[in-house]
Chain A
Amino acid sequence: MRKTKTIALGIALAVGTFTATGAMAATTLENVKEKGHLQCGVTSGLPGFSQPDEKGNWTGIDVDTCRAVAAAIFGDAKAVEFTPLTAKERFTALQSGEIDMLSRNTTWTLTRDASLGLNFAGVNYYDGQGFLINKDIGVDDATQLDGATICIQAGTTTELNLSDYFRAKGMEFKPIVFDTSEQTVQGFSAGRCDVLTSDRSQLAALRSKLSDPSSAIILPNTISKEPLGPVVRQGDDEWFNIVKWVLSVQINAEELGVTSANADEMLESDNPNVQRLLGTDGDMGAKLGLPDDFGHKVVKLVGNYGEMYDRNVGPDTPLGLSRGINALWTEGGILYAPPVR
């Protein structure tokens, strides 16, 4: 009988803890501050966007987007832990609260915004779907791809775009769907498919993984719009604003000529826009629930958008992507951030 009692007690305890932990309703910002770090969902490895080196140090434009948020909250760009996620898991991980923000080259679409309980907090890279093809095949335009075998990475909008494009052109194709980018590259370099399709930035990244990158070319066609950006849970507007405005601050900083190198000197600037950006004037930070100098910390520790771009995907990196439409609106691109005021 004693044994039974112990078991019953155990069950009761288990049940108690199970239901008790259910009642937890702090805001995301409070949770992050309490943990002492930001938990950020990224890819499991995509050069230029989020890629770990052998020591687990993450680099990439998506990674820097997370670091900027950490810099704004803690004044420490290293206060981030990264959770690598497959395409399949990313939304569940965010919805369940496993991660605080998702920065995993995720395309902003109506369905995702409206039906997944998520909010897209801006765009950190404007992308579009393209084709990577072996030079030897001698194709220079996507309209010549009738009958081609195409490698695709699963779990993305890519599969639908591809079908739509080929159907609209009255062409046929054979899709091979892989789960991870490693397998996709392996399939392509093993010659399983003629063409690899993905977002153009990813194509550049994947091409850099080939043993001979110059053997493959990216076709000029862009068959879809893929605005990629950080995502947060719906229903926590404070947190949504923080992520949205940290990104805007970075873009504004580039426009105002504030860089990580001159951020300290710029504290003395007379330009009221710079003063508001860096927090020497006004209480912009307090309105977001952040320290007033959060803009200064973000730019000083992570850099402005241009620095972030050049460091990770720019012309001097293995990806070698020129700014294109990702340039500022003043320089022929479409990057236009709302003002900090």
Chain B
Amino acid sequence: MTESTMKAPKKALRPVKWMRENLFSGWFNTVLTLGVAYLLVTSVGPLLNWFFLDANFVGSDASDCTGAGACWLFISQRLNFFIYGFYPDELQWRVDVMFLLLAVAFVPQFIERFPGRKWLGLFGIFGLPVVGYFLIPGGAFGLEEVQSSKWGGLMLTLILAYIGIIASLPIGILLALGRRSEMPIIRGICVIFIEVWRAVPLITVLFMASVMLPLFLPEGVNFEKLARALIGITLWQSAYMAEVIRGGLQAIPRGQYEAADALGLGYWRKVGLVILPQALKMVIPGIVNTFISLFKDTTLVLIIGLFDILGTVQSTVTDPAWQNVAIEGYVFVAFCFWIFCFGISRYSQNLERKLDTGHKT
């Protein structure tokens, strides 16, 4: 540094100095700043008007939407349908219980030093699917049965993403282990399985699940449409999961494998007690990221006729009782997804930063 030869800097007000350094350093930056600022000013005003100032929030039907802005009334009036689909009103408490349990299990994961956080997480992964399996469809313990064709909305979106990720985890682990195996045939089978599923678009997988899967099964065996979609999603997702987990397996230093071998542990004990616990912990951010992309991809099920949240919104925006509410509907869905995805991705970034301390070679 050559500070001694430089003149003492002029004293400037801090904001002015900050602006000169960050916004107006040189003609190019000045032009950029002014251009972007102009765009912002011209677009933010009308958007703000449409979203809030001119928007309609209260009332009971379309005739109350008189302002020039958005008709949020449409969302609040149909919210029940967007969240529960056709699930019967008097049984919706069952879904609410699941939402609550989901929140109890996973929201503490965002809060460090929350007591018993780990146990809640484990409950979320192992216990919750079991509870949901009995609670949502009913038909046991005196609960009234609700067919899966009545499930819909946000609830269905969460079910698809959640089951897809939980079910693909064990398959993904096996595939990842298989791909790292020393047995060439097992490795080959796993590589082919993973690469084929990763190469095809989810939509072809869903079509296959909805149209072709019934042909693969023996006569008399059939699954409901939702179950078929879940099978397709799980197989597809497990290939991605396998690649994420393989990343973790590769990051484990060789010494760990050798130490386990030296202790005389067999393969499954070596993997189960030494390698996987470390590898899985390391790839949690990766798993969370695949969850985000799966969560977004579940919207594709509307193409095979399931009513996920986007499907329910799409089927109501054409309702003649409400006019031109398509943009409101899409904005609502976009907002729901954005909240979930942004929140979860922030969590995974934090986690990455935290886990970034050791283990890197």
Residues of A within 8 A of B (CB): 3, 18-19, 21-25, 44-45, 52, 54-56, 81-86, 88-89, 92-93, 95-98, 179-180, 182-183, 185-186, 208-211, 213, 318
Contacts and interface: CB of A to CB of B under 8 A. Distances in A.
Contacts of B323: 211
Interface string B215-239: 1011111111100000000000000
Contact of A22 (B86, B147, B220, B225): B220
A128 B317 CA distance: 28
B86 A55 contact: yes
Contacts of A86: 210, 304-305
Nearest to A94: B214
Given A56-B150, A182-B314, A210-B320, A21 B218 contact: yes
A179 B311 CA distance: 13
A55 B89 contact: yes
A52 B305 CA distance: 14
A21 B220 contact: yes
A86 B304 CA distance: 7
Interface in B72-102: 78, 80-81, 85-89
Nearest to A180: B305
Nearest to B217: A96
B218 A98 contact: no
Nearest to B218: A22
Interface string B144-166: 00010110000000000000000
A96 B214 contact: yes
Given A84-B305, A92-B214, A98-B224, A56 B320 contact: no
B211 interface: yes
B149 A83 contact: yes
A44 B305 contact: yes
6 contacts: A44-B315, A52-B86, A85-B305, A88-B207, A88-B304, A89-B305
Contacts of B86: 52, 54-56
B268 interface: yes
B211 A89 contact: yes
B318 interface: yes
Contact of A45 (B89, B147, B218, B315): B315
A92 B215 contact: yes
Interface of B: 78, 80-81, 85-89, 147, 149-150, 207, 210-211, 214-215, 217-225, 268, 303-305, 307, 314-315, 317-320, 323-324, 326
A185 B318 contact: yes
B320 A211 contact: yes
A290 B281 CA distance: 62
Contacts of B304: 86, 88-89
Nearest to B149: A83
A52 B86 CA distance: 8
Contacts of A183: 314
A21 B88 contact: no
B251 to A, nearest CB: 26
Given A88-B211, A98-B214, 20 more contacts: A18-B218, A22-B221, A24-B221, A25-B220, A56-B87, A56-B150, A83-B149, A86-B304, A86-B305, A89-B210, A89-B305, A92-B214, A92-B215, A97-B219, A98-B222, A182-B314, A182-B315, A183-B314, A186-B317, A211-B323
Nearest to B219: A22
Contact of A56 (B88, B210, B219): B88
A185 B315 CA distance: 11
A89 B225 CA distance: 10
Nearest to A185: B318
Contacts of B318: 182, 185-186, 209
A64 to B, nearest CB: 18
A74 B149 CA distance: 22
B206 to A, nearest CB: 11
Nearest to A86: B305
A115 B120 CA distance: 55
Nearest to B221: A21
Nearest to A17: B221
A21 B220 CA distance: 7
Contacts of B225: 83, 85, 89, 93, 98
Contacts of B305: 44, 84-86, 89, 180
Contact of A55 (B88, B219, B303, B319): B88
Nearest to B312: A54
A19 B211 contact: no
Nearest to A21: B221
B263 to A, nearest CB: 17
B320 A213 contact: yes
Contacts of A22: 218-221
Contacts of A98: 214, 222-225
Contacts of B214: 92-93, 95-96, 98
A82 B219 CA distance: 22
Contacts of B81: 54
B77 to A, nearest CB: 10
A162 B78 CA distance: 37
B181 to A, nearest CB: 15
B222 A97 contact: yes
Contacts of A186: 317-318, 326
B151 to A, nearest CB: 10
Nearest to A179: B303
A179 B220 CA distance: 29
A74 B87 CA distance: 24
